Amino acid sequence: MHDSAADTYRHRGQRRALVEELRRKGIHDERVLTAIGSVPRHLFFERAFESHAYQDKAFPIGEGQTISQPYTVAYQSQLLDVAPRQRVLEVGTGSGYQCAVLLELQATVFSIEYNAVLYERTRHRLAQLGFAGAQLFCGDGSVGLPEHAPFDRILVTAAAPTLPRPLLRQLSVGGRLVVPVGDEHVQRMVRVTRESAEGYAQEVFEEFRFVPLRGAAGWGE
């Protein structure tokens, strides 16, 4: 799928070690672990910072944004529980790494990024790496993508002040939204399942720390 020429034996070894670290930290979904083991995270970094790619840490990607910590990517992907061909909306494309993990999970991916510089950079990167299947958009993902709804899964990779209502409405019945909700310092991971046209069930999980979700159903401009 991706350009294996730039993915060396050493990188693959580092990825195997990262997968074992995530397993020790409680990630147990084998499909998610396999996807993390397959996507060359170092190719989502500037070359100079490549040595940080297989540490379980978030890292700056420019424009004041970050590539999420591998544990966070794995945790959100596990909660999302994506089956092949499901329609998944990711809000916050960022570096494109989570998007590549969703593609490895064989989802039909729609991903939207607010920041135009990151959107352009990541669009080129994903194409260059051969992760060509995702439909990428630039704009305010806090209001979703109504023209492409409904979605089986929606994943928000930035911190929302409250559950974004437009996203709830764009879930199919049986669909799931995974979103960190809280203030600017700390958020709890929330999973909402749309059980019927009007019925939603909510589960609350661990604490995380994300960059803010901008936009109309986020923290504003």
Residues carrying an active site annotation:
68
Question: Interface with ligand SAM includes 115 (CB under 6 A)?
Answer: yes
Number of residues that bind ligand SAM (CB under 6 A): 26
Contact between 118 and 86 under an 8 Å Cβ cutoff? The reply is: no
CA distances from 104 to 86, 134, 173 (A): 12, 11, 24
Q: How far is the CB of 96 from ligand SAM (least distance, A)?
A: 6
Q: Which CB, 175 or 215, lies closer to ligand SAM?
A: 215
Binds ligand SAM by CB under 6 A, chosen from 40, 70, 92, 175: 92
Using the contact rule CB under 6 A, the part of the chain among 15-23, 26-34, 47-55, 210-218 near ligand SAM is 210-218
Angle, helices 70-80/97-104, rounded to nearest 10 degrees: 40
Stretch that binds ligand SAM, among 5-13, 48-56, 138-146, 186-194 (CB under 6 A): 138-146
State the Cα–Cα distance between residues 157 and 56, nearest whole angstrom. Answer: 17
218 contacts ligand SAM (rule: CB under 6 A): yes
Contact call for residue 66 and ligand SAM (CB under 6 A): yes
